[in-house]
Structure 1
C-alpha cells in the first residue's frame, strides 16, 4: 500500500478520493469538487490517500498549527475492510505530524477531531462496515480520544451556512492524564479552522461566545 499526498485537482487520484468522500459522508460535509483547489495547494493542509493497486482505498486529511501546538484530523476514510487501512493511515499520519512538529521546533500537546455521535445521529456512511459510527467511536476511544464537554455545532461544508450537529469535538492529548483544555485554545482553534467558511450559523457564534465566558473545558471519556 502507498501513502500518496494529493496537491492538485489534476492528480488523477483526486477524482477517486472525491467520489469516495461523496459515497461515505453526508452531502453537507463534503466540499464541492472545484472548491478543493485551494485546500489541496495549501502547504499547511495535508491530504493523503492510501493506494492499493492504483485504487484509492482510504484517505486522511490533517493539519498542524505550530503556534497552538495542536493538530487536527479533518477526516479519515477506510474504504475497504480487512486490509489494515485504518492502522496504515494512523501510523503514517502520526509519523508525519511528528515531523511537522519537529520542523517547527514545537512539541504537540494533542490533536482535535470531530466524531459522530451515533446516539444522537444515525448515518450509514455508505454502508462501509469499517465506517460504522459505533465502530469508529469505539476505535477512537481506544486510541485515546476524549470528548470536550460542550454542545458542539459546526458550519456546513457546502457553504450554505447551516448548523451541523450530531458530532462531538474531541481531543487526543499527548499526555493521557490531561483532563481539560483552556477554553481560549478551543476558541482560537475553531475560529482559525473555520475561517475558510464565510457563512456560519448563529448557533456556531453562540457556541464560541459561550466558550469565551469559560476558563477550562473538561475532557470526558468518549
Structure 2
C-alpha cells in the first residue's frame, strides 16, 4: 500500500489535507506545518482548491462533519485547520463540478482498444482477425466463388506484413489459416452463391434509384468443411 493509499483509511479531512491529496501530495509530510510555511510550489498549486473548498463550506455547499470556530460568537469564523469534511462530500463536490483530481475522484482510464497499436495490450493476431472479418463482411464481392475461410485467408495474405504475419518474407500460411478460422462465421464451410452486381442508380441529378442488396450468404453449399480450431 502506497503512502497515499493509506489515506483512504481516513474518511474526514481538513481543507488543507484534502487539497494536498487532490494534487497527489502526502499530507503527512507537511503535518503540523502552517500553510504559509509550505514550499511555494505546493502553495501555488493547492491554493485554488483550498479557497474553493473554504467557500463551498461557507456557502453551505459542503457540510462540515466537525465544526470548529475561532470565536464561538461568530459562526462564520471557521477554523479550517481543525474543521473536518467527510470524503464523500468532497467526492460529490468534484462530481457536481465535473472535475477530477488525483485522490478523491480519479479520472477513469479508458479501456484499451484492441486496434490501438500503441496500447499495452495490443494483440496483432486478434486485430488481424477483426480487420479481416470487417473487410470481408463489408465487401460481398470477396466471397464470389470462395468459402468464407478462403476469402478471409486471401485478405490476410494481402495484409500479412501489416499484422506481422510474414515468415521469411512470405505470408505465414499456418498463422493465417488459424486466424481465418477464428474470424470465420461459417465454420461448417460452403461457398456462397455468386452475387450479382447491383444495377446502376437510375434518374437524374440528385435522384437515387432503388438499391439491390447483394446476399453473399444465400445459395447452395459445397462440401468444404474446416477443421475445428484447436484450443
TM-score by length of 1: 0.24
Rg: which structure is higher? 2
Bigger proportion of residues as strand? 1
